[in-house]
Structure 1
Amino acid sequence: MTAGPICRNAAATSAKSRIVAVGAIAVAGSLLLTGCGDQTNDKKDSGDKVVSAPLSDELPSDIRNQGVIKVGSDIAYPPVEFKDKGGKTVGIDPDIADALGKQLGVRFEFDNGTFDTLLGGLRSKRYDIAMSAMTDTKNRQEGIDEETGKKVGTGVDFVDYFTAGVSIYTKKGDDQGIKTWADLCGKKIVVQRGTVSHDMAKAESKKCKGGKKISIESFDNDQQAQTRLRSGGADAGSSDFPVAAYAVKTSGGGKDFQLVGDQVEAAPYGIAIAKNNPELRDAIKNALAAIIANGQYEKIIKKWGVDAGAVKEAKINGGK
């Protein structure tokens, strides 16, 4: 949700992750911290179909005819995607999806699910795409499990639309000397299950010496991890930099958490699409290129205060 940037999956500390060196995130409005494990369908109140849709003919005919692209997303990862006080799905991803929909003449309908189930939902055709601060990695492209190295599926294609990575944060005023991932040896970290942060914690723990492994507690969503840290149940937390920075800025009015140490190397977020659906993949890529060219993409990125994570062009499978 390496929600996490805004990143959600990498193999090890040395691997590309979802962090970007962006400044403090200035997001207008308040944050409603809600869980995302209910698997409820979020029917967006989108109004009429777009009249002017220059790229409509590029969509697969079945999607064009139904007028909807079903999106699997972990809708508890602010500011990437989350529910506002009125229960509406908002954030960077929904705003970009709306702009893409205007180019394609369809509505993007976000369906709420836990992050580690999204690619399975894509394979089972529950979703047409997965859009949820998901890091584009070679392993995901090839269907390789990050931890075991074994092939578990056919893999997916990604249309890359943002650049981000992960950060470590602690309770404010209590960093316990944590500056790097190596400093977590012998300590407890909370993360969202299936994310880059989760993978990095497991990889770093294997490097710890003297039996001082990292104790890792994983949760369905990032808000649950934050709650655990806030209550004193862990020493640190980790998530995508934009998400961590947003939590630092908003939780407890900015009094709960602080970022510690440096961010890791950035990697792309991608919109995941099944390998056997190149027509949809290319249509979304071209729609992204269109909103980059017409300035709509830049407006969305600036709205959420994450300018440094903006991409300059639409790419397919740019992750490493």
Structure 2
Amino acid sequence: MTARSTRRTTAAQSRIAAVGAIAVAGALLLTGCGDQTKDKESGGSDTADSSAAPLADKLPQAIRDKGVIKVGSDIAYAPVEFKDDSGKTVGIDPDLADAMGKQLGVKFEFENGTFDTLLGGLRSKRYDIAMSAMTDTKNRQDGVDADTGKKVGEGVDFVDYFTAGVSIYTKKGADQGIKTWSDLCGKKLVVQRGTVSHDLAKSEAKKCAKGKAISIEAFDNDQQAQTRLRSGGADAGSSDFPVAAYAVKTSGGGKDFQLVGEQVEAAPYGIAVAKSNTEVRDAVKAALDAIIANGEYKKIIEKWGVDAGAVEEATINGGK
């Protein structure tokens, strides 16, 4: 997750997690977060056999007939979702979608879009769900803009499936004394636009002394923010802990970045579903509970080295 201002919420509602063990897991791979394109990737199995799927009857007939659940996702946020060297969409979310698809007898088809447009895509019915490391927050549930406090839509329901937090990272060997968010005052920070990191930075900047505000540069995706920091164009970057840890582990063979301080604002990642689409919401929850019960969920989470963020059951609208 994912939340990502539209995507990750205000400071108190960050996408941040109790995923402390991820940093040492060592299984984290590469990074990314995508543009709004029309790339479509199968995040589920190549074939969807509804006759062998125990939960197929929980889906609306129209989706069962198509055999596809359309997923809006920012596919550049490794290890949650990203494209491998062959161009295939891979990561935690696609693997979970594949496992849930087998339960439901459908294929989860991922469509790439910028993070801050995903909820709009749900409202316009471009997608059936949005699955993109998105933090479940009360603002998103209610359709409230985190910056203005004004209602901008009907909101969404979330099926929560993971827990994550926000971290700060710097160039390796150049932390400039940055350990906490207050240490960013007078510094330049790069983030992905619309994320919890972005919201947290804006909130923290208001607390800085006069003339020492945080200079925030926001990008369409996390890869762009990392490139800016790598080139020396900023003092620090911030993103969800699994993503920051992955970048530290993989960028430049582990020589580009380092994590600083502790992750903050633990919050759940949720699969977003339109409030009017309760049948799909409940089917996704049932499928998630099924793969938790049969052990597939645990295997996937451990595969990506993020087992500290695992949940024991699916929850609807557990974000605060």
TM-score (norm 1): 0.95
Partner of 2:269: 269
Aligned residues: 315
Note if contact 1:3-1:239 (Cα within 8 Å) is conserved in structure 2: no
Gap change, CA 1:290 and 1:277, over 3 Å in 2: same
Secondary structure at the aligned position of 1:64 is classed as helix
Structure 1: gaps (5+ residues): none
Distance in 1 separating the partners of 2:65 and 2:143:
30
Distance in 2 separating the partners of 1:216 and 1:67:
43
Corresponding residue to 2:40 among 42, 47, 54: 42
Structure 2: gaps (5+ residues): none
Partner of 2:187: 187
Partner of 1:286: 286
Distance in 1 separating the partners of 2:85 and 2:316:
35
Structure 1: which 4+ aligned runs deviate by more than 3 Å? Answer: 1-4, 14-17
CA deviations 1:247-303 (Å, max 9, x no partner) are: 000000000000001110311000000000101000000110100000000000000
Partner of 1:315: 315
Deviation at residue 42 of structure 1 after TM alignment: 1.9
Gap change, CA 1:130 and 1:190, over 3 Å in 2: same
Deviation at residue 2 of structure 1 after TM alignment: 4.7
Gap change, CA 1:174 and 1:15, over 3 Å in 2: same
One-letter code of the match for 2:34? C
Secondary structure at the aligned position of 1:318 is classed as coil
Greater mean alpha carbon deviation, residues 79-88 or residues 45-54 = 45-54
Note if contact 1:289-1:313 (Cα within 8 Å) is conserved in structure 2: yes
Q: Percent identity?
A: 75
Note if contact 1:83-1:89 (Cα within 8 Å) is conserved in structure 2: yes
Distance in 2 separating the partners of 1:120 and 1:135:
16
Deviation at residue 37 of structure 1 after TM alignment: 1.2
User: Is 1:238 matched up with 2:251?
Assistant: no
Deviation at residue 27 of structure 1 after TM alignment: 2.4
Deviation at residue 8 of structure 1 after TM alignment: 4.6
Partner of 1:54: 54
- RMSD (Å) for aligned C-alpha atoms: 1.7
Gap change, CA 1:43 and 1:263, over 3 Å in 2: closer
Note if contact 1:3-1:240 (Cα within 8 Å) is conserved in structure 2: no
One-letter code of the match for 1:23? I
Note if contact 1:8-1:197 (Cα within 8 Å) is conserved in structure 2: no
Distance in 2 separating the partners of 1:294 and 1:213:
50
One-letter code of the match for 2:186? G
